[in-house]
Amino acid sequence: MEVSIPKCEVCNACEPDRTLEASDGTRFGVSTSNLHRFSGAFPAPGSVNTDSTAYEVVVLPETAHVVRLMVQFIHPGVRQPAIWQIETPWQLAEAVEKYMIFPALEVVKARVRSLAAKYPIQVFIYAARHGHDDLLPDVEKPIGLADYHSMENTLQILYAEPPWVIKAFHR
């Protein structure tokens, strides 16, 4: 089926050859080479049959807002999104970890850390899900867990069940 690929929203230089569709149906054209260079775990329909799936639409569970930010992050030579103005970056943080958007990982983590006093539970969940033990001291006090070992026990339980994304994308 012929599918027209949306133009790149971020730049004029790249030639999108793949379509990402957000949860609300908004579509984004992206270049596969950018995806492969800057993402470690993006769904790859082309891995089965390159020719017939080159123009396949990749449907993502993330919102258009999050997909738009990710598309910006996988662009070389383009200023990164204004991550410090995002008040609740949890969905973005989940997405960049899930798809391993390399240019976004550390800066998004830094943004999440900066919110530890205000949103300690969310930061704790993020830290636990993605193994960011170095964030734990930041949330220990706000959450009110004086006993650090109780957090360690919680983490051991969480680590025993790897995130679904690991199973889904590292087969």
Nearer to Zn ion, 74 or 128 (CB): 74
Nearest distance from C-beta of residue 104 to Zn ion, angstroms: 16
Nearer to Zn ion, 72 or 126 (CB): 72
Nearest distance from C-beta of residue 9 to Zn ion, angstroms: 7
Contact 67, 60 (CB under 8 A): yes
Nearest distance from C-beta of residue 166 to Zn ion, angstroms: 29
Contact 23, 63 (CB under 8 A): yes
Residue 78 sits in the site that holds Zn ion (CB under 5 A): no
Contact 122, 115 (CB under 8 A): yes
Angle 64-73/102-114 helices, nearest 10 degrees?
120
Nearer to Zn ion, 31 or 95 (CB): 31
Contact 91, 61 (CB under 8 A): no
Residue 67 sits in the site that holds Zn ion (CB under 5 A): no
Range 4-63, binding Zn ion (CB under 5 A): 8, 10-11, 14
Nearest to 95, CA basis, from 71, 113, 114, 75:
71
Nearest to 107, CA basis, from 133, 70, 162, 159:
70
Which region, judged by CB under 5 A, interacts with Zn ion, from 1-9, 39-47, 122-130, 156-164? 1-9
How many helices and strands, by DSSP H and E, does the chain display?
Answer: 9, 3
Nearest distance from C-beta of residue 12 to Zn ion, angstroms: 7
Nearer to Zn ion, 38 or 119 (CB): 38
Nearer to Zn ion, 104 or 135 (CB): 104
**Residues engaged in binding Zn ion (CB under 5 A):** 8, 10-11, 14
